[in-house]
Structure 1
Amino acid sequence: MRVRQVFTVVILAVGTLVSPECYQNVSSGEARKLNDFTVDFGSFREKFHRKYEVSSEEFNRRQQYFQNATQRHTFLNSFSTDPQSAEYGINQFSDLSQEEFKDLYLRAVNDRASLFSGPSAEGLPAKFDWRDKAMVAPVQNQLACGSCWAFSVVGAIQSVHAIGGAQLEQLSVQQVLDCSYNNAGCNGGSTSQALNWLNRTRVKLVPHSEYPYKAKMGICHFFSQSHAGVAVKNFNTYDFSGQEEAMMGHLAENGPLAAIVDAISWQDYLGGIIQHHCSSHRANHAVLIVGYDTTGDIPYWIVQNSWGTSWGNAGYVYIKIGGNICGIADHVAAVFV
């Protein structure tokens, strides 16, 4: 069942954005400790290395956003009646307005996908995680750039390449950001459009070390066809809504899946299994689904995000299987290299 909730918050004028460097060097454990007691704004600023001056206009604005966030957390956590339920609280995004958060981080475009019409999956294991096979690269941080769509696509490609027998290697997100001309770089993009571009042009993705990430769009650096890299041979994109078991089979057979979701409530996520607070009607963020687990009371997808390891479950989010929570099954792409 899809659950849609309306959050009422005070949205003030958008001002100077917080520097992306402020989001680094804080562990998920430290972020959770902030929620073990009543947190004041001073503790938050110290923990997350905020530099704005006390009593300045920016200080007052950020403090108001922080207070709005604590009010949201009370509402969001009121639904968390199960020990495995998602927990919401203070994290590195708590002094951003919801509008700023969306403008910075939720920039994926959701193209329409064909409804999956293949066979139902049979004989699936109760738990499957590509990380257990060392086929998933470490969590990355997109910083203050709307490049989630590129991280999602590159994450799928580098995993599938490794599943095929190659060494797992971090490939260049910046290459996709700069060169996928049918997308808008840090201003957003579509996983399908990026995969279409890679498939049509046969552009080879080079290692991250050759084309490092800069969190901003630059001039495309072209490489010759003889240059070593990984090319996309094909891909498919499906709508698995109502067929999440088939989606589990698709993941186990083909590798990690690039998906576009509604992540509006993820600004406040700390950990646990999301079961409420998002729908499939406002898809806005691209992620990488790396596994699933149906062994507990609440079956869930294992999803790698691109907001660094200080966010969520060491950079991961768990989403309940069934009911298309967060639109997890609406737009799912498998890659072949």
Structure 2
Amino acid sequence: MRGGGWFLVAAVSLVFPPLRCQNRSREETRTEFPRSAAAEADFCSFREKFHRNYELNTEEFNRRHLYFQDAIKRAAYLNSFPAAPHSAKYGINQFSDLSLNEFRDLYLRASADKAPPYSGEKREGLPAKFDWRDEGVLAPVQNQQACGSCWAFSVVEAIQAAHARAGSPLEQLSVQQVLDCSFRNQGCSGGSTVWALSWLNQTRVKLVPQSEYPYKAKTGICHFFSQSHGGVALKDFAAHDFSGQEEAMMGQLVSCGPLAVTVDAISWQDYLGGIIQHHCSSQHANHAILLIGYDTTGDIPYWILQNTWGTKWGNEGYAYVKIGGNICGKYDPCWFIYMYF
């Protein structure tokens, strides 16, 4: 399997009167599907926690409850595999009332282009663990919301990390600018990190600060800036397929900085935390993310990936994936940035 990708799921949150989970009348429940008291309580708790205020006794309510029941069954299956220490756990999260198709269509919108296998030399003397969060070059975990913009986030986050590594103050750059303006990509409907990089490389467009071009979680009209406007421009980039070369990828991560990668994130709809060791089963890339570190000191060596689904997902917004066997598939551009002031 080459590369992987994620799908971004849009949380359904409609505005209705406050939830009332107890003391519901027979009239309210008469036309709903049969369900156990325990399942009813779990669904009620989920709706309260994630502010799902769809009306009771409606087709929407019943449909979401069925998807919720499917999520419980999926999690039970995913948790049934033999568990090593610190293995991933799966269960109820903000995506549990979405169908698999909705999750894919809303969140797993990255595509991975073919790239040549990495043929460079391996770096010797790598540290046993490394994390770019310790170097102060990463912005906090973001939330792309109901927009398939993971490809744009991974590109921008890698560039702003490289900018900070070069000695500039860490500054969040505009994801919306890439979302609106990157040709060949489709905004919130999906895109490719390589196409976005090629656009930046060919046009020498400068990424402006997020404060000047804020994120809206929807595709808009491209806002152009003059060449005299300040910003950060890409000088060059390289894209490689690291399948079967995870040690080489460690060297690139340490040498080049955080890497934009695409992974198979089909099972991440139910991910709660821990080290992912199985369940990357869609066989193709669908989600873009930022590879920021690794740790080989424990029983299970793992990669550290910064996601864009908010801090309530996974390990406070991060995913851990086992090193070895190309689990989930990673496809990585290394970044070289030239700063304009």
Regarding TM over 0.5, the answer is: yes
1:6 match? none
Q: Which amino acid aligns with 1:244?
A: E
Instruction: Supply the distance in 2 between the matched residues of 1:274 and 1:80 (Cα, whole angstroms).
Output: 12
Q: Deviations over 1:36-56 (max 9, x none)?
A: x97611111111111101111
2:28 match? none
For the Cα contact (< 8 Å) 1:261–1:280, is it kept in 2?
A: no
Confirm or deny that 1:97 pairs with 2:99: yes
Instruction: Supply the distance in 2 between the matched residues of 1:181 and 1:51 (Cα, whole angstroms).
Output: 38
For the Cα contact (< 8 Å) 1:65–1:94, is it kept in 2?
A: yes
Confirm or deny that 1:254 pairs with 2:248: no
Deviation at 1:268, TM superposition (A): 0.2
Instruction: Supply the distance in 2 between the matched residues of 1:137 and 1:123 (Cα, whole angstroms).
Output: 28
Instruction: Supply the distance in 1 between the matched residues of 2:106 and 2:76 (Cα, whole angstroms).
Output: 24
Instruction: Supply the distance in 2 between the matched residues of 1:272 and 1:84 (Cα, whole angstroms).
Output: 5
Instruction: Supply the distance in 1 between the matched residues of 2:123 and 2:241 (Cα, whole angstroms).
Output: 15
Instruction: Supply the distance in 2 between the matched residues of 1:274 and 1:303 (Cα, whole angstroms).
Output: 11
Instruction: Supply the distance in 1 between the matched residues of 2:42 and 2:195 (Cα, whole angstroms).
Output: 44
Relative distance call for 1:258 and 1:187 in structure 2 (3 A) is same
Instruction: Supply the distance in 1 between the matched residues of 2:192 and 2:142 (Cα, whole angstroms).
Output: 19
Q: Deviations over 1:235-283 (max 9, x none)?
A: 1111111110000000000000000111000000000000000047221
- State the secondary structure of the residue aligned to 1:158: helix
Relative distance call for 1:20 and 1:164 in structure 2 (3 A) is farther
Name structure 1 gaps, 5 residues minimum: 3-15, 23-36
Instruction: Supply the distance in 2 between the matched residues of 1:101 and 1:220 (Cα, whole angstroms).
Output: 27
Q: Give runs of ≥4 in structure 1 deviating > 6 Å.
A: none
1:213 match? 215
For the Cα contact (< 8 Å) 1:280–1:326, is it kept in 2?
A: no
Q: Which amino acid aligns with 1:336?
A: F
- State the secondary structure of the residue aligned to 1:325: coil
Instruction: Supply the distance in 1 between the matched residues of 2:283 and 2:305 (Cα, whole angstroms).
Output: 19
2:12 match? 18
Q: Which amino acid aligns with 2:293?
A: G
Q: Which amino acid aligns with 1:334?
A: C
Aligned with residue 135 of structure 1, among 112, 134, 137: 137
Q: Which amino acid aligns with 1:213?
A: Y
Q: Deviations over 1:192-250 (max 9, x none)?
A: 00000000100000000000000000010001111110000011111111110000000
Deviation at 1:190, TM superposition (A): 0.1
For the Cα contact (< 8 Å) 2:15–2:54, is it kept in 1?
A: no
For the Cα contact (< 8 Å) 2:13–2:54, is it kept in 1?
A: no
1:64 match? 66
Deviation at 1:21, TM superposition (A): 9.6
- State the secondary structure of the residue aligned to 1:213: coil
For the Cα contact (< 8 Å) 1:278–1:326, is it kept in 2?
A: yes
1:151 match? 153
Where do 1:21-170 residues align within 5 Å? 40-170=42-172
- State the secondary structure of the residue aligned to 2:60: helix
- Mark the structure with the bigger radius of gyration: 2
Instruction: Supply the distance in 2 between the matched residues of 1:267 and 1:197 (Cα, whole angstroms).
Output: 31
Q: Which amino acid aligns with 1:312?
A: G
Confirm or deny that 1:230 pairs with 2:209: no
Instruction: Supply the distance in 2 between the matched residues of 1:242 and 1:254 (Cα, whole angstroms).
Output: 19
Confirm or deny that 1:336 pairs with 2:336: yes
1:5 match? none
Deviation at 1:121, TM superposition (A): 2.0
Q: Which amino acid aligns with 2:13?
A: S
Name structure 2 gaps, 5 residues minimum: 3-9, 17-37
Instruction: Supply the distance in 1 between the matched residues of 2:121 and 2:263 (Cα, whole angstroms).
Output: 24
1:311 match? 313
Q: Deviations over 1:303-334 (max 9, x none)?
A: 00010001000100000111111112xx2111
For the Cα contact (< 8 Å) 1:288–1:303, is it kept in 2?
A: yes
- State the secondary structure of the residue aligned to 1:232: strand
- State the secondary structure of the residue aligned to 1:100: helix
Deviation at 1:83, TM superposition (A): 2.5
Q: Deviations over 1:138-177 (max 9, x none)?
A: 1100000000000000010000000000001110000000
Instruction: Supply the distance in 2 between the matched residues of 1:186 and 1:68 (Cα, whole angstroms).
Output: 27
Confirm or deny that 1:288 pairs with 2:282: no
- State the secondary structure of the residue aligned to 2:334: strand
Q: Deviations over 1:268-301 (max 9, x none)?
A: 0000000000047221000000011101011111
Aligned CA RMSD, in angstroms, stands at 1.9
For the Cα contact (< 8 Å) 1:20–1:143, is it kept in 2?
A: no
Instruction: Supply the distance in 1 between the matched residues of 2:289 and 2:181 (Cα, whole angstroms).
Output: 20
For the Cα contact (< 8 Å) 2:14–2:53, is it kept in 1?
A: no
Say how many residue pairs are matched.
308
Deviation at 1:19, TM superposition (A): 3.4
- State the secondary structure of the residue aligned to 1:230: strand
TM-score (norm 2): 0.87
Instruction: Supply the distance in 2 between the matched residues of 1:241 and 1:20 (Cα, whole angstroms).
Output: 42
